[in-house]
Amino acid sequence: MTVPSAGATTVCCIFIASSTTTGAPSWTSSPGLTSTRTTVPGIGATSEPWPLAAQLVRRASFDLLAGYTERSQLEPSHTAITDKLTTLYTRPMFDAVLAKELERAARFNVPLSLILFDVDRLSSINKQHGYGVGDKVLERLGILMRQYFRQHDWVARYAEDAIAVLLTRTEGEHASELAERVRATVEERLGFTDHLSERAVPVTVSPVPPPATGTVPRNV
């Protein structure tokens, strides 16, 4: 038990005992009073209100947990927004954003660029080295892509071996330059060594850059 220092004031609720028909004390609370301990003759040191307080805290925690569970069931699942392996956006999320951004670009006549990166020979990597290696390649690729592009760009796992990048307010020429730089960075960083054969295994992506105009047509 912590002893208050001199001059310190401890605020708590005092529980007052009143007799019942059985002779046992019942408890009522008086909030706002100042005390450090409640002493009831014949009850002893266990008469402090902490057991009751613990019950109230436990009940409140259960109510909070029930409310959080109900809210999580009503809100969209996190897995519907973010791909678990790559931590990039999912295809449904990307499609919804793409429709909105296409509409906005057409309305305000602003450039909008789309790049699709295809992971080369991913199926061969899975067959020769195991699906765990292929998943690791996708995981590392997702980290690289997320760090490479701007925060307000949309990067998503568009298919099993494809990643789409939506660049808002970006001309096609600049998007093509970005695509080439990403391709070179992936080739430089994501290769690995097969420890059974001691051979270097390259990991590359093939970007499909947008048209040079970079402006989304109105009939798209």
Could you give the CA distance from residue 212 to residue 158 in angstroms, rounded to a whole number? 23
Could you give the CA distance from residue 144 to residue 140 in angstroms, rounded to a whole number? 6
What pLDDT sits at residue 9? Answer: 41
What pLDDT sits at residue 108? Answer: 94
**What phi and psi, each to the nearest 5 degrees, are found at residue 131?**
-65, -25
What pLDDT sits at residue 197? Answer: 86
Q: Which of 23-32, 131-140, 177-186 has the lowest mean pLDDT?
A: 23-32
Domain 80-208, CATH: 3.30.70.270
CA 161 to chain centre: 23
Assess contact for 115 and 179: CB atoms under 8 A.
yes
Could you give the CA distance from residue 182 to residue 145 in angstroms, rounded to a whole number? 8
Contacts of residue 72, Cβ cutoff 8 Å, sequence gap at least 6: none
pTM of the shown model:
0.61
Confidence label for 196 from pLDDT (cuts 50, 70 and 90): confident
Going from N- to C-terminal start, the domains of the chain cover 14-74, 80-208
Confidence label for 181 from pLDDT (cuts 50, 70 and 90): very high
Confidence label for 124 from pLDDT (cuts 50, 70 and 90): very high
Nearest to 78, CA basis, from 69, 90, 96, 68: 90
What pLDDT sits at residue 208? Answer: 77
Consecutive H or E run containing 193: strand 192-194
214 torsion bin: left (phi>0), alpha (psi -120 to 50), beta (else) = left
Outline where 24-167 has alpha helix (H): 50-74, 91-108, 122-129, 131-148
Assess contact for 126 and 217: CB atoms under 8 A.
no
Residue-wise pLDDT for 39-78, tens only, equals 444 444 444 555 666 666 666 665 655 665 555 455 555 5
